[in-house]
């Protein structure tokens, strides 16, 4: 697998990110594992090198453009799937204290193999988002993030409970996310969120990406998150 980094390096340079040789090798190895494992389990529909570079790797890295990630920041990727954006962020910023969470065991097995092969330390957890937020992980993270997991009112209830006061939740979305953000205004307030910023950009292939950054200003009430059937049936 040879990822065409020339497709994404100009975009990375716009926010002062340089991919060194170690990062490139790890991203190549990650892509290779993704394609290999995808033949036996459904991890992604994106398997061509050009598309992996843009739609998985650059898409993940753009979080660093819109969110300042402090040295040794604790970051949780909720509903991480095949590891996007969390694993990509860890590759280019090995200092990040990364937690990856997914509800499907086969995905966490894949992620454990990726972390082992690439020599990256990560806390990989098989759990539903609403369960993990009830325990020791609650309000422990400088940054919580999720990529295209659910509608914003639902996503906020899953992710803001992981975010510590003073930290941020960054939702990664496609087009139309501005309206979702408006619809989530009440949920954001109820869950301890404050200032909300929306950033929209285009990938080199002209796909639209939206990043919604929410500052956590107060603790989340212990009754949240609710169980998933209630979250989905009665969004905040």
Helix axes 105-118, 21-38, angle to 10 degrees: 150
For each of the domains in the chain, give its residue range(s) and CATH number, in order of start: 69-233 (3.40.50.150)
- Quick one: how far is CA 78 from the chain centroid? 7
Q: Name the more confident of 172 and 179.
A: 172
The residue with tokens 């619809």 is 183
What's the CA gap between 58 and 85, in Å, rounded? 9
Share of the chain above pLDDT 90, in %: 90
What is the pLDDT, as a whole number, of residue 148?
Answer: 75
Q: If you average pLDDT over every residue of the chain, what do you get?
A: 95
What's the longest Cα–Cα distance across the chain?
Answer: 48
What is the pLDDT, as a whole number, of residue 35?
Answer: 95
- Report residue 195 as tokens: 């200032």
- Report residue 184 as tokens: 């989530």
Contact by Cβ (8 Å): 33, 59? no
What is the pLDDT, as a whole number, of residue 231?
Answer: 93
What's the CA gap between 66 and 13, in Å, rounded? 14
| Residue 21 backbone phi and psi in degrees, to 5 | -65, -35
- In sign, the C-alpha dihedral spanning 152, 157, 162, 167 is positive
pLDDT digits (tens, 9 = 90+) for 104-149: 999 999 999 999 999 999 999 999 999 999 999 999 999 999 997 7
Question: Between vectors from CA 90 to CA 198 and to CA 101, what angle results, nearest 5°?
Answer: 75
Round to the nearest angstrom and report the end-to-end CA distance of the chain. Answer: 44
The HSE-up count of residue 204 (CA atoms within 13 Å, CB side) is 19
Q: Is residue 75 over pLDDT 90?
A: yes
Q: State the pLDDT confidence band at 180, using cuts at 50, 70 and 90.
A: confident
Q: Is residue 176 over pLDDT 90?
A: no
pLDDT digits (tens, 9 = 90+) for 35-73: 999 999 989 899 999 999 999 999 999 999 999 999 999
């Amino acid at each position: 697998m040879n990822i065409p980094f020339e497709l994404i390096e100009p975009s990375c340079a716009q926010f002062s990110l340089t991919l060194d040789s170690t990062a490139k090798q790890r991203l190549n190895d990650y892509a290779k594992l993704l394609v290999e494992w995808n033949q036996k389990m459904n991890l992604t529909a994106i398997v061509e090198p050009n598309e992996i570079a843009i739609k998985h790797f650059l898409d993940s890295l753009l979080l660093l453009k819109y969110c300042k990630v402090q040295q040794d920041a604790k970051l949780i990727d909720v509903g991480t799937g095949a590891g996007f954006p969390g694993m990509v962020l860890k590759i280019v910023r090995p200092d990040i204290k990364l937690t990856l969470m997914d509800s499907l065991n086969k995905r966490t097995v894949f992620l454990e193999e990726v972390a082992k092969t690439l020599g990256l330390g990560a806390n990989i957890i098989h759990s539903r988002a609403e369960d993990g937020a009830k325990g020791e992980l609650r309000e422990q993270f400088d940054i919580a993030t999720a990529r295209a997991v659910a509608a914003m009112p639902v996503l906020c209830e899953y992710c803001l409970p992981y975010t510590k006061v003073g930290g941020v939740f960054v939702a990664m979305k496609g087009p139309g996310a501005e309206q979702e953000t408006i619809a989530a205004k009440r949920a954001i307030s109820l869950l301890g969120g404050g200032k909300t910023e929306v950033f929209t950009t285009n990938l080199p292939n002209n796909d639209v990406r939206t990043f919604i950054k929410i500052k956590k200003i107060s603790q989340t009430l212990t009754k949240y998150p609710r169980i998933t059937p209630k979250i989905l049936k009665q969004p905040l």
